[in-house]
Homo-oligomer: A and B are copies of this chain.
Amino acid sequence: MSINYKKPSVMVDIAIFTLHEKTLKVLLVKRGIPPFQDHWALPGGGVRVDQEASIFDKTLEDAAKRELLEETGAKTHYLEQLRTYGSDSRDPREWTVSVAYFALLPYAAIQVQSGSDAADARWWSIKDNRVPVQLAFDHQQILHDAIQRLQAKVEYTAIAVHLLPNAFTLTELQRTYEYLLEAKLDKSSFRRRVHNAGIVKIIPGQFREGSNRPAQLYCFAKKTQKNVFFPRSADRNLG
């Protein structure tokens, strides 16, 4: 068995997304040490598998959650495994495996913090499926895949609710979808699909007030409804 073989290093990297000022943003950290010193990179680090050590991850997901907490100070809202990258060339030092995750958080929930290895950390706006800076390792590729996955899932799941605070109006939810899909959606179609899919629940008696008609507040309905939601008009407008 492979137990006696040479082993690759195993990392966890996370693409942490939020929505702010009508734009999708991703959290990047500036590397403080080589390789790729001073390059921006996805937050991440080695999986800690030494039971005696002060930090110990029982699972890969635990490692991802730990990184997420270290970087944002936020408890996990949405965390999904993206895919795993492994080769002899992605890190100049050695054969490495990176298990990539992506996370969604409401902007308000986050307090950006610099981790130990990171000289700096900040949000970067995503334009044309990329970020306007060169990234370390194959992180440009990982980020690209993460954005693709996010956009694909936006089209047929309720995933976008995780970018909003606990209580939100249907108009806010629609705007979120519109920013992510870069398309305008029809109001009544949107509401019909949201209701049919059963992805939200009315919060009885709670409204968003303003200088106009108050809007009903909703929260995410946890039912693991699958495959129900699909803003079809986005197809055409994106073309």
Chain A 147-191, CB within 8 Å of chain B: the 1/0 string?
Answer: 000001001000000000000000000000000000000000000
Query: Of B5, B58, B81, which is within 8 A of A84 by CB?
Result: B81
Copies in the complex: 2
A2 within 8 A of B: yes
| A3 cross-chain contacts in B, Cβ below 8 A | 9, 46, 93-94
* A10-B97 in contact given A46-B2, A58-B89, A84-B84 (Cβ < 8 Å): yes
A83 within 8 A of B: yes
| A89 cross-chain contacts in B, Cβ below 8 A | 58
| A97 cross-chain contacts in B, Cβ below 8 A | 10, 47, 60, 97, 99
A95 within 8 A of B: yes
Instruction: Please report the C-alpha to C-alpha distance between residue A18 and residue B89 in the assembled complex, in whole angstroms.
Output: 33
A214 within 8 A of B: no
- The 25 listed contacts between A and B (C-beta, < 8 Å) are A1-B46, A1-B117, A2-B9, A3-B46, A3-B93, A3-B94, A5-B49, A5-B50, A6-B50, A7-B7, A7-B8, A7-B9, A7-B10, A8-B10, A8-B47, A47-B86, A49-B88, A51-B88, A58-B89, A59-B86, A59-B87, A81-B83, A83-B83, A84-B99, A152-B227
Instruction: Please report the C-alpha to C-alpha distance between residue A9 and residue B49 in the assembled complex, in whole angstroms.
Output: 10
Instruction: Please report the C-alpha to C-alpha distance between residue A45 and residue B33 in the assembled complex, in whole angstroms.
Output: 34
In the assembled complex, how far is the CB of residue A84 from the closest CB belonging to chain B, in whole angstroms? 4
A121 within 8 A of B: no
Using C-beta atoms within 8 Å of the partner chain, give the interface range for chain A: 35 or more
Within 8 A of B (CB), among A11-36: 11, 33
Kindly name the residue among A2, A99, A227 whose own CB sees the greatest number of chain B CB atoms within 10 A.
A2
Say yes or no: A60 contacts B86, CB within 8 Å.
yes
Instruction: Please report the C-alpha to C-alpha distance between residue A73 and residue B11 in the assembled complex, in whole angstroms.
Output: 33
A48 within 8 A of B: yes
In the assembled complex, how far is the CB of residue A169 from the closest CB belonging to chain B, in whole angstroms? 29
Nearest CB in chain B to that of A155: its residue: B227
Instruction: Please report the C-alpha to C-alpha distance between residue A42 and residue B95 in the assembled complex, in whole angstroms.
Output: 25
Instruction: Please report the C-alpha to C-alpha distance between residue A9 and residue B46 in the assembled complex, in whole angstroms.
Output: 13
Q: Which 10 A-B pairs have the closest CB atoms?
A: A2-B46, A49-B95, A60-B86, A59-B87, A6-B50, A7-B7, A84-B84, A8-B49, A84-B99, A5-B46
